[in-house]
């Protein structure tokens, strides 16, 4: 198992399949994009599947989430999902995507064995979407989510980030829309993971702000810690149910004590935390011919050194050099 010195056990693996993205969200990367990883730096499809197999069969991983960048840009995605679905024991598999391209791939992903999707959508207003993402693709995301629901990639979860002066007034509208369409909405506090390092705590939309806004239209009943478990989202039942809404308050209400995640970057580095400043290299071991047992040992060593928390409240906190697109969400 992947145990750390604080007694936490990682059972949830987040796998970044690419650092590339077809949007340019203001809270993630600059308009001109980034210097992408070279093809030789990226793990191959077979290397990704092998690492996931090791994680599942040697290290106790039960959940696998494919991320990016934008994972739908990975040409071999369907084949990777299909091979991982054949593992014993079979992990539950999900995908975090911006939704562009999901309309044409949802059925194939479901057939390959994907269980569900998380789709990022911060606004219901096409003009605000264009400002936030620097791309006019709002309709593609909406269509992609509908295709995922029809394909059975459910529950379809929606991830939304609220930004001051842009979409900070949309929380109630987003929730009403999600409930109507049977999507599960999750608001995420903006985190210091932008490539520009422009994040500032002052003025950010907090979990408290979001809940206050939602309560102007809805009655929210907290589910509680027992229902939450190790999930990053605190959840509330909406108007008596069955719909729920979640808030992932990584900045103002950190949940590090219950974290059960380990992360693999697109270039084969283990990360113990989104905010980690250090990584452990598995790619070199893979390519030097190391057996599965040695790779599993290296992974265990990396996770053993996981820190108690993200350190966001520490005056000495340094934002990771690598942005969200490089390390996976």
pLDDT tens for residues 299-325? Answer: 999 999 999 987 777 776 777 777 666
Q: Does the pLDDT of residue 277 top 70, yes or no?
A: yes
| Reported confidence tier of residue 256, pLDDT bands at 50, 70, 90 | confident
25 vs 2, residue with greater confidence: 2
Q: Does the pLDDT of residue 183 top 80, yes or no?
A: yes
Q: Report the distance separating Cα 18 and Cα 39, nearest Å.
A: 10
Closest CA to 102 of 146, 144, 153: 144
Give me the DSSP letters along 15-30: EE--S--S---TTTS-
Determine if residue 20 is labeled as part of a ligand binding site.
no
**Rounded average pLDDT over 175-195:** 88
Q: Report the distance separating Cα 190 and Cα 13, nearest Å.
A: 22
Determine if residue 25 is labeled as part of a ligand binding site.
yes
Determine if residue 262 is labeled as part of a ligand binding site.
yes
**Percent share of the chain, pLDDT over 70:** 92
Residue 159 DSSP SS3: strand
Determine if residue 92 is labeled as part of a ligand binding site.
no
**Rounded average pLDDT over 289-294:** 98
Determine if residue 65 is labeled as part of a ligand binding site.
yes
> Which range (125-139, 219-233, 247-261) has the least confidence?
219-233
User: What are the boundaries of each domain within the chain?
Assistant: 2-326
> Which range (98-112, 148-162, 244-258) has the least confidence?
244-258
Residue 99: Cβ within 10 Å count: 28
Does the domain at residues 2-326 carry the CATH identifier 3.90.550.10? Answer: no
pLDDT at position 153: 98
Q: Does the pLDDT of residue 196 top 70, yes or no?
A: no
In what helix (H) or strand (E) does residue 318 lie, and over which residues does it extend? none
244 phi and psi angles, rounded to 5 deg: -130, 160
What six digits make up the tokens of 243?
């719909």
- For residues 74 and 25, the answer to whether their CB atoms sit within 8 Å is no
Residue 171: Cβ within 10 Å count: 26
Q: Does the pLDDT of residue 199 top 80, yes or no?
A: no
Determine if residue 27 is labeled as part of a ligand binding site.
yes
Q: Does the pLDDT of residue 329 top 70, yes or no?
A: no
256 vs 195, residue with greater confidence: 256
Determine if residue 84 is labeled as part of a ligand binding site.
no
Determine if residue 208 is labeled as part of a ligand binding site.
no
Dihedral of the alpha carbons of 12, 18, 22, 25, in degrees to the nearest 10: 50
> Which range (51-60, 64-73, 202-211) has the least confidence?
202-211
Task: Write the CB contacts of 56 (distance below 8 Å, at least 6 apart in sequence).
Answer: 62, 64, 84, 87, 89, 91
**Rounded average pLDDT over 222-233:** 76
| Reported confidence tier of residue 24, pLDDT bands at 50, 70, 90 | confident
What six digits make up the tokens of 55?
């994680």
| Reported confidence tier of residue 235, pLDDT bands at 50, 70, 90 | very high
pLDDT at position 8: 96
Dihedral of the alpha carbons of 174, 203, 189, 170, in degrees to the nearest 10: 0
Residue 306: Cβ within 10 Å count: 22
Q: Does the pLDDT of residue 226 top 70, yes or no?
A: no
Q: Report the distance separating Cα 236 and Cα 276, nearest Å.
A: 30
pLDDT at position 191: 72
Task: Write the CB contacts of 7 (distance below 8 Å, at least 6 apart in sequence).
Answer: none
Sheet holding 244-248, edge to edge: 220-222, 234-238, 244-248, 184-188, 157-160, 116-120, 92-97, 63-67, 12-16, 261-264, 269-271, 280-281
Name the pTM for this structure.
0.92
């Amino acid at each position: 198992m992947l145990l750390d010195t604080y007694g936490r056990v990682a059972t949830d693996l987040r796998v970044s399949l690419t650092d590339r993205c077809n949007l340019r969200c203001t809270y993630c990367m600059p308009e001109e994009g980034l210097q992408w990883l070279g093809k030789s730096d990226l793990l191959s499809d077979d290397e990704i599947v092998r690492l996931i197999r090791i994680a599942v069969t040697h290290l106790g991983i039960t959940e696998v989430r494919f991320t990016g960048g934008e994972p739908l840009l990975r040409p071999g995605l369907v084949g990777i999902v299909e091979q991982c679905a054949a593992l014993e024991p079979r992990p539950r598999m999900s995908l975090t995507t911006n939704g562009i391209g999901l309309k044409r791939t949802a059925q194939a992903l479901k057939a390959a064995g994907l269980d569900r999707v998380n789709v990022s959508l911060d606004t219901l207003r096409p003009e605000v979407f264009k400002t936030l993402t620097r791309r006019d693709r709002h309709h593609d995301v909406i269509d992609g989510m509908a295709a995922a629901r029809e394909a059975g990639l459910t529950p379809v979860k929606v991830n939304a980030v609220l930004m001051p002066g842009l979409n900070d007034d949309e929380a109630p509208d987003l929730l009403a829309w999600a409930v109507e369409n049977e999507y599960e909405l999750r608001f995420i506090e903006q985190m210091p993971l932008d490539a520009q390092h422009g994040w500032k705590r002052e003025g950010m939309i907090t979990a408290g702000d979001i809940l206050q806004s939602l309560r102007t239209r809805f009655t929210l009943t907290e589910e509680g810690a027992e229902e939450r478990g190790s999930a990053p989202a605190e959840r509330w039942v909406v108007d008596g149910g069955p719909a729920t809404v979640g808030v992932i308050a990584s900045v103002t209400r950190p949940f590090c004590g219950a974290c059960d995640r380990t992360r693999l970057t697109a270039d084969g580095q283990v990360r113990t935390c989104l905010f980690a400043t250090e990584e452990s290299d598995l790619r070199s071991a893979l390519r030097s011919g190391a057996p599965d047992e040695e790779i599993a040992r290296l992974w265990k060593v990396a996770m053993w050194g996981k820190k108690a928390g993200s350190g966001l409240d520490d005056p000495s906190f340094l934002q990771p050099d690598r942005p969200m697109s490089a390390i996976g969400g």
